[in-house]
Amino acid sequence: MKNQNTNYNQEYKYGFTTDIENIKAPKGLSEKTIKFISEIKKEPKWMLDWRLKAFNRLKVSKEPDWQKPKFPKIDYQALYYYSAPKSMKDKPKSLDEVDPKLIETYNKLGIPLNEQKKLSGVAVDAVFDSVSVATTFKDELTKKGIIFCPISEAIQKHPDLVKKYLGSVIPISDHYFATLNSAVFTDGSFVYIPPNTRCPMELSTYFRINASETGQFERTLIIADKGSYVSYLEGCTAPMRDENQLHAANVELIALDDAEIKYSTVQNWYPGDKNGVGGIYNFVTKRGACRGKNSKISWTQVETGSAITWKYPSCILQGDNSIGEFYSIAITNNHQKADTGTKMIHLGKNTKSKIISKGISAGKADNTYRGLVDIGRNASNSRNYTQCDSLLMGNKCGAHTVPYIKNKNSSSTVEHEATTSKINEDQLFYCNQRGLNQEEAVSLIVNGFCKEVLQQLPMEFAVEAQKLVGISLEGSVG
Amino acid sequence: MLNFKISSDEIDKIGNFTKEEKNFRLKNLEYFNDTGFPNKKNEDWKFSDLNAIVSKNFNKLDIQFGKSKKQKVDFIKDFEHNYIVIINGELTISDFRYEEKDKITLKSFINDNYSNRKENNPLINLNHALSDKGYFLEVKENYKFKKILVIYYLFTNDLDENILNTRNKIKIRKNSELHLLEYVVNDSKKIFFNNVHEDIVLENSAILKNIYLQNSKSSGYFHKYSINKLFTESNYTSFIFPAGLKFNKLDLEFNLEGERSECNLQSASFINNNEHQEIKTRVNHFSPNCRSHQNVKNVLNDESKGVYQGKIFVKDVAQKTDAYQLSKAILLSEKCEFDSKPELEIYADDVKCSHGSTSGNLDKDSIYYLMTRGLSQQESTKLLIDAFLNEVADSIKSNSIRNFIKTKLETQLQDGY
């Protein structure tokens, strides 16, 4: 076939850094660093105690080592745990006060804050490095009683809610990276939807890792009270850097009776160059608890970036009739490695879960789906359906499926199926014959392969994600 | 609490060995003593905590036991066959009346492979250290067995809290064919542990058909590690009907070394009471154009636990691989449990690999349908389970053998349900 060896590799589009003077915490991980972070955030004592408790736990816990992608040892003492743009010290009251350089960065990223209000109806809580810059649409949300603010603000203004729910889904002793996050998290989002409220817009946050050698430790807490609904978007791009940067975020979702949370992620962090140098380590803990009856949590993720992606957005289905969903696309190219999947823990009666995972592996990449479906003794009439499909491009990459399925209840049904294959030659030939070149054809076929997941994304993301799927695989066919 | 440490004196009691062999045994015993029986922290034993099971049920585990008395063997009369009789792991009598004798070698097993590797499965090290019984069977080139060979594994009442370490090897030379029925007859009323290491080699174009069957329920604790090497165009079909033991773990490894080799694994079991059964497979596709097929069916009742851990590994050179894995389980009672981990690890792109795993109860509509035709609930359930499990036995080609197996399975079901 023609074109076979053409290299269409597109360089990482969002690789740039903005030169802003940073305030940095003392280098390294110590009680001093944690106190520094806590102080700079003007946190109450209980919060500092909570952090220190996590830090003490961290001293005795070990990094997990069971995952497929191995990574070089991280020197936690060589990292900075806090950095904030200096101009943030006096919080800007309006957009005019925002550092023009920040605005410039956002414009390059395609988030025109000024136009955001009019255009999309999306309230953006933009996080640059670790501190939230501006929050739009606050008024409209406040009217409905919805709280959408940086978590540092929530700790001060809504301590009761934070105290009650923070760490209730991911306990501080969970595992090494979750504990690390609990000790040193800098900022993140807090969302509270009051009872019987439907959030009128898609809430969205753009995270961005900027300063070199700064691990980012975001903490997100979303609470949907009885009968409420919220859809939350998280999207990321990161500048091009040579050092490996660590990102260990924690995301906790809590859905009470009849509430629904939809959480969508598009992750496009710097994956390292063609030879596998650099790139982000994305070790994220995401977990949702369906606490109430008839509650629902739905995770959708498109993972195309990062040198190593290692995350398992999970659902704990505690409430009767609760529903957990997980839709995922993980694309790895060049030397990228992904080990991702989900856990569905069925505890309540009549609980349902659905897992659709699409893994695409090209170049020298490794892509693993790892998941757990656990039906407890009391989870009668529960149901799970899992489908994991993998697509391989070339014989230097790998695709793996590691599902754990546990069933302790005879009235429940668990179904799992997985396939691994390559792009069908006939389909490619057909597309070529209709005038599409090799790249376009692959992009089209892969988009079709991922369709079930892509259509779960909100409108704002769907278009971008489709492009991303194509871009991520360019240069991989041959 | 049982002390799992085994003294090195035990090796001297087994026999006199060359220096090399003795060192090999001592080294392996040391490995085993380091870890003891595997517990759930070992990924391969995640769902079967053998350490806990052994601690709970055994007060001691003796290596030596009284000499087995002559045992009357209840031979199968349903079809003509050759036979080998193994009593408590020891090769006793054999009869190849339907075959050309010079085409077959049969002798007691002598291990000659001293690999000093620390195994991930400590029971393999234990077997290396203490194995003292077993057989070696070889079928010479270009010979096709005329009748099936039945291997009777007898366990007698002499066993009481003993551990047996046996080691068997079967080698089938080029263009030869063997049909085998491994038939386990367990007369021991007491508990014992049987730790088997099996080595099977299929040379180019060799064919092996194997059926493994338990005669009746017993209180044995079995572990078998089986490593199977398949060379070019060889074909291995294995039917496993493993049910009926207190604890049973089959750890099967298939290495498809030669091109166009094929392996087929079928299993059906009905597990009840407090039985614990695990089938763990690892199929390594090392060469192009190989095919592997696994179909594992379980029906669970009472407080039983069933586990299936299957892994398909495809090396980058193994293009055009066709690998399939299916696990189905029916859970009948409130207290049973089924865990599975069907795993794929694939490094070649032009492959067709898939797996499926389901577990759940019987379809209510099907039961309702049968009841409307006049069957009782119990009858309907039984009919559906029969159909579910018999699918495996139905694919056995020989009529007389198939019927024999089906009758045996029927009794197992009758006893259990």
pLDDT of residue A144 exceeding 50: yes
- The pLDDT of B330-341, averaged and rounded, is 93
CA–CA min distance B312, chain A (Å): 10
Q: For the ranges A340-344, A459-463, B165-169, B241-245, which has the lowest average pLDDT?
A: A459-463
Tens of pLDDT along A145-197? 999 888 888 999 999 999 999 999 999 888 899 999 999 888 788 999 999 99
pLDDT of residue A304 exceeding 90: no
One-letter amino acid for residue A293 of the chain: K
Mutate to test the interface with B, among A375, A381, A395, A428 (most CBs of B within 10 A): A395
Q: For the ranges A279-283, A322-326, A335-339, B98-102, which has the lowest average pLDDT?
A: A279-283
CA–CA min distance A424, chain B (Å): 9
Tens of pLDDT along A357-383? 999 999 899 999 999 999 999 999 999
Beta-strand relationship, A413-422 and B135-139? unpaired
Contact A401 B344 (CB under 8 A): yes
Which residues on B lie below 8 Å from A390 (Cβ)? Answer: 344, 346
CA–CA min distance A331, chain B (Å): 15
Q: For the ranges A54-68, A262-276, A297-311, B394-408, which has the lowest average pLDDT?
A: A262-276
Q: What is the pTM of this model?
A: 0.86
Q: How far are the Cα atoms of A25, A135, A343, B16 from residue B8, in angstroms, in the given order?
A: 58, 72, 45, 13
- pLDDT at position B189: 82
Flag whether residue B357 sits within 8 Å of chain A, measured between CB atoms.
yes
Number of other CB atoms surrounding residue B211 within 10 Å: 24
Contact B331 A393 (CB under 8 A): no
B119 or B80, which is more confident: B80
Which residues on B lie below 8 Å from A407 (Cβ)? Answer: 329, 331, 337-339, 359-360
Nearest to A400 among B341, B345, B356 (CB): B345
Flag whether residue B307 sits within 8 Å of chain A, measured between CB atoms.
no
Residue A370 in 3-state DSSP?
Answer: strand
Distance CA(B99)–CA(B81), nearest Å, equals: 10
A15 or B15, which is more confident: B15
Q: In sequence order, what are the beta bridge partners of A222? A: A191, A253
- pLDDT at position A47: 93
- pLDDT at position A112: 47
Tens of pLDDT along A75-114? 888 777 776 554 444 444 455 555 555 555 455 555 545 4
Give the closest residue to A218 by CA, choosing from A138, A170, A284: A284
What percentage of residues in chain A have a pLDDT greater than 90?
A: 42
Contact B354 A417 (CB under 8 A): yes
- pLDDT at position A120: 35
Contact A66 B43 (CB under 8 A): yes
Highest mean pLDDT among A55-59, A446-450, B261-265, B348-352: B261-265
Contact B359 A420 (CB under 8 A): no
Residues 81-140 of B with CB under 8 A from A: none
A365 or B116, which is more confident: A365
Which residues on B lie below 8 Å from A406 (Cβ)? Answer: 47, 337-339
Distance CA(B23)–CA(B10), nearest Å, equals: 14
- pLDDT at position B217: 80
Cβ A431 vs Cβ A444: under 8 Å: yes
Mutate to test the interface with A, among B314, B347, B362, B367 (most CBs of A within 10 A): B347
Which residues on A lie below 8 Å from B316 (Cβ)? Answer: 395-396
Q: State the number of CA atoms in the 13 A half-sphere of A456 facing the CB.
A: 25
A237 or B234, which is more confident: B234
- pLDDT at position A110: 55
B71 or A252, which is more confident: A252
Flag whether residue B160 sits within 8 Å of chain A, measured between CB atoms.
no
Contact B351 A66 (CB under 8 A): no
Confidence of residue B313 (pLDDT cuts 50, 70, 90): very high
- The pLDDT of B90-95, averaged and rounded, is 91
The alpha carbon torsion through B19, B22, B27, B29 (nearest 10 deg) reads: -170
Tens of pLDDT along B21-70? 899 999 999 999 988 899 988 889 999 999 999 989 888 888 888 776 66
Distance CA(B169)–CA(B162), nearest Å, equals: 23
CA–CA min distance B310, chain A (Å): 10
Average pLDDT of every residue of chain B: 91
